[in-house]
């Protein structure tokens, strides 16, 4: 991902402005909070999980995005916020091992919940977020009605597949389970199974019922270069730049105009291409920022029961 | 020894400069610990009380959530089981290694230290390769026809315990070997000469003399096990959640550092309490406390 960002945004920004982008290891909420508390903000621009951005925003840790520099309406409505903008469109997808389910591929989460038609082991993320959404869709809730999360229904749905359910805790593990046949069908991010599939691993996936997720660009409150940071974020939203990013990594652009610059054979691999964007639904990060702690606690209690 | 400057001024002056030397040498690590250990610990403990909340509000939240209590209980239970298993496995092995000399001793140490130096994550992934449904062990058992369907070796308690015992064994072996090597073999011979059978000689001579090693190993393994994160996460199932996972959720997902601090403080208090209890019991048993 770092390399795709470099190819698409960092080098061209330096070329345009003479400003070098220096990257630092992933800074999550804990790092931002400690920087702000210590009044020692040594980062300007953040690329954090989109789920973290509204939490940071609600805590007052982010500068407002300068929407005067970019046409906000050119960005996917779901991706543009007052204090952050999504960096790409990635997808939580249903994927399966083709040795066991290759002749009978599941078409979405409902099929993953159908033990008779698609027998075998299931694997899901051991986190409340993204997993409860998947469970609700698996239980037949239409994808535009999964928020606000009906926690009891989601947990009841998970109960139905619990005997065959194993949990993954990292993205690498989610793909490895499916490739090794440790699991027959499960959730993973499209970027995790794309390359193994190309390399011939026995794994496949579909964008049906995809849950769209993303990283988010934002600027830390009190950053020393707010102006240039805003210029940089505007730079990332140029369609040509977004297209180069999506050619380097199988994540889609947040600016639909970028699709015109992407080779046609690449488009089926991108979650936000015209043919895929309507198959999925955006994860509601605002819901999780507001009610996450309570839901996570309920989910943990269910896990341990 | 009494210190009387009027008797021997020369010697006392020497003692004084020696003490001052110690002070200078010791002040650096003490300063280091104050800065990088005690101060952060202090901030964690104070943070657990929050700012504007009523006293103990975050601790009450911990006790209010049944999942937190379960996770704390499970954490201590796993740490205790792993410690006992490590002790049972390591005791005879260490006793044997302590008797070795020369090349065999070096080979034994290499066998302990090489895994000890290998990353926990890598060792945990190695167990995953062995334990998976289509992993090495299940493949072997299925090929031999010993089982009809793959055994569930991971995603459960079994996987967590095997993985953790394997990772913690060196922490038990090393202090035990060191303690055993300090036991003069002639003591056991003397016990035999005086008429004790091997069981009695072991029970009354060898075991008490080995207790400092046991105490050190038990304390090391138990306390380190309490903080495990990645091994239970990768080899465990839904119910195998350690308190470190909860703390991490509160630190980086919900950013409720007060609650995270309360959990960490509680873990610290329980650990210290158990440690004192263990020390008392060990002293009463005449085996010497951990600190001796």
Residue of B nearest to A177 (CA): B132
pLDDT value at residue B277: 87
Tokens 């995790």, residue located: A192
Q: Do A304 and B238 touch (CB under 8 A)?
A: yes
Does B100 have pLDDT greater than 80? yes
- Helices (H), ranges, B182-256: 185-193, 198-201, 207-226, 230-235, 243-248
Q: How confident is the model at residue B192 (pLDDT cuts 50, 70, 90)?
A: confident
Residue of B nearest to A179 (CA): B134
Mean pLDDT of A253-264: 97
CA A95 to chain centre: 16
Mean pLDDT of A73-94: 97
A contacts of B228 (beta carbons < 8 Å): none
Q: Given CB atoms, is B255 within the 8 Å cutoff of chain A? A: yes
Write out pLDDT tens, residues A189-243. 999 999 999 999 999 999 999 999 999 999 999 999 999 999 999 999 999 999 9
- Residue B66 has its nearest CB partner, among A162, A181, A301, at A301
Chain B nearest C-alpha distance from A60 (Å): 13
Chain A nearest C-alpha distance from B141 (Å): 16
Q: Do B234 and A300 touch (CB under 8 A)?
A: no
Q: Do A180 and B132 touch (CB under 8 A)?
A: yes
Instruction: Tell which of B43, B238, B249, B252 to mutate to test the A interface (max A CBs under 10 Å).
Output: B238
B contacts of A29 (beta carbons < 8 Å): 252-253, 255
Residue of A nearest to B66 (CA): A301
ipTM of the prediction? 0.84
Mean pLDDT for chain B overall:
87
pLDDT value at residue B18: 72
Q: Of the ranges B45-54, B66-75, B264-273, which one carries the lowest mean pLDDT score?
A: B45-54
A contacts of B251 (beta carbons < 8 Å): 30
Residue of B nearest to A31 (CA): B252
pLDDT value at residue B16: 65
pLDDT value at residue B24: 82
Mean pLDDT for chain A overall:
95
pTM over 0.90? The answer is no
pLDDT value at residue B141: 94
B contacts of A301 (beta carbons < 8 Å): 65-67
pLDDT value at residue B286: 60
Residue of A nearest to B232 (CA): A169
Instruction: Tell which of A297, A298, A301 to mutate to test the B interface (max B CBs under 10 Å).
Output: A297
Write out pLDDT tens, residues A102-117. 999 999 999 999 999 9
Longest dimension (CA), chain B: 87
In whole angstroms, what is the distance from residue B77 CA to residue B281 CA? 19
Q: How confident is the model at residue B3 (pLDDT cuts 50, 70, 90)?
A: very low
Mean pLDDT of B31-60: 89
Beta partners for residue A49, in sequence order: A215
Percentage above 70 pLDDT, chain B: 92
Write out pLDDT tens, residues B7-42. 454 555 566 677 777 888 888 889 999 999 999 999
pLDDT value at residue B278: 84
pLDDT value at residue B5: 46
- Tokens in use for B90? 């390591």
């Amino acid at each position: 991902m770092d390399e795709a960002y470099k190819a698409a945004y960092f080098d061209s920004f330096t070329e345009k402005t003479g400003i070098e982008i220096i990257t630092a290891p992933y800074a999550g909420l804990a790092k931002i909070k400690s920087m702000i508390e210590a009044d020692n903000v040594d980062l300007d621009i953040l690329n954090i999980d989109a789920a973290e951005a509204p939490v940071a925003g609600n805590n007052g840790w982010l500068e407002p995005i300068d929407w005067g520099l970019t046409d906000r309406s050119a960005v996917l409505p779901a991706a543009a916020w007052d204090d952050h903008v999504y960096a790409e469109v990635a997808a939580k997808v249903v994927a399966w091992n083709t040795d066991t389910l290759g002749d009978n591929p599941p078409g979405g989460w409902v099929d993953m919940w159908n033990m008779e038609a698609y027998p075998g082991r299931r694997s899901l993320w051991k986190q409340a977020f993204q997993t409860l959404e998947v469970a609700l869709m698996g239980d037949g809730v239409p994808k535009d009605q999964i928020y606000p999360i009906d926690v009891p229904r989601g947990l009841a749905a998970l109960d139905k597949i619990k005997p065959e359910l194993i949990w993954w805790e990292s993205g690498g593990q989610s793909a490895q389970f499916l490739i090794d046949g440790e699991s027959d069908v499960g959730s993973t991010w499209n970027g995790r199974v794309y390359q193994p599939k190309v390399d011939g691993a026995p794994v496949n996936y579909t964008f049906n019922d995809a849950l769209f997720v993303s990283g988010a660009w934002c600027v830390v409150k009190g950053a020393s270069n707010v102006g240039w940071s805003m210029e940089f974020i505007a730079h990332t939203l140029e369609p040509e730049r977004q297209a180069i990013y999506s050619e380097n990594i199988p994540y889609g652009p947040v600016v639909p105009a970028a699709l015109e610059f992407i080779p046609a054979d690449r488009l089926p691999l991108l979650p936000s291409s015209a043919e895929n964007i309507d198959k999925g639904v955006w994860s509601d990060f605002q819901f999780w920022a507001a009610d996450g702690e309570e839901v996570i606690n309920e989910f943990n209690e269910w896990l341990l029961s | 020894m009494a210190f009387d400057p009027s008797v021997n001024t020369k010697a006392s002056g020497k003692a004084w400069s020696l003490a001052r030397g110690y002070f200078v040498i010791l002040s650096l690590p003490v300063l280091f610990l104050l800065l990088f250990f005690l101060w952060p610990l202090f901030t964690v403990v104070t943070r657990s009380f929050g700012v504007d909340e009523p006293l103990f509000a975050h601790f009450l939240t911990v006790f209010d959530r049944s999942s937190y209590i379960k996770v704390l209980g499970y954490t201590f239970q796993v740490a205790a089981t792993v410690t006992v298993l490590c002790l049972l496995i390591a005791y005879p092995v260490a006793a044997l290694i302590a008797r070795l000399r020369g090349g065999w001793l070096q080979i034994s140490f290499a066998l302990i230290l090489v895994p000890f130096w290998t990353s926990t994550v890598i060792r945990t992934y190695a167990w995953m390769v062995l334990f998976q449904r289509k992993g090495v062990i299940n493949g072997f058992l299925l090929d031999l026809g010993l089982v009809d369907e793959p055994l569930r070796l991971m995603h459960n308690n079994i996987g967590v315990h095997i993985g953790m015992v394997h990772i913690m064994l060196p922490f038990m072996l090393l202090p035990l070997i060191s303690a055993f090597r300090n036991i003069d073999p002639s003591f056991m011979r003397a016990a035999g000469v005086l008429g004790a059978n091997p069981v009695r000689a072991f029970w009354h001579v060898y075991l008490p003399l080995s207790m400092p090693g046991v105490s050190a190993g038990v304390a090391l393994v138990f306390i380190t096990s309490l903080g495990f994160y990645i091994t239970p996460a990768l080899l465990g199932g839904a119910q195998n959640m350690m308190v470190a996972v909860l703390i991490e959720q509160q630190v980086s997902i919900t950013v409720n550092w007060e609650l995270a601090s309360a959990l960490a403080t509680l873990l610290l208090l329980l650990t210290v309490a158990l440690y004192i209890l263990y020390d008392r019991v060990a002293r009463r048993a005449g085996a010497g406390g951990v600190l001796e």
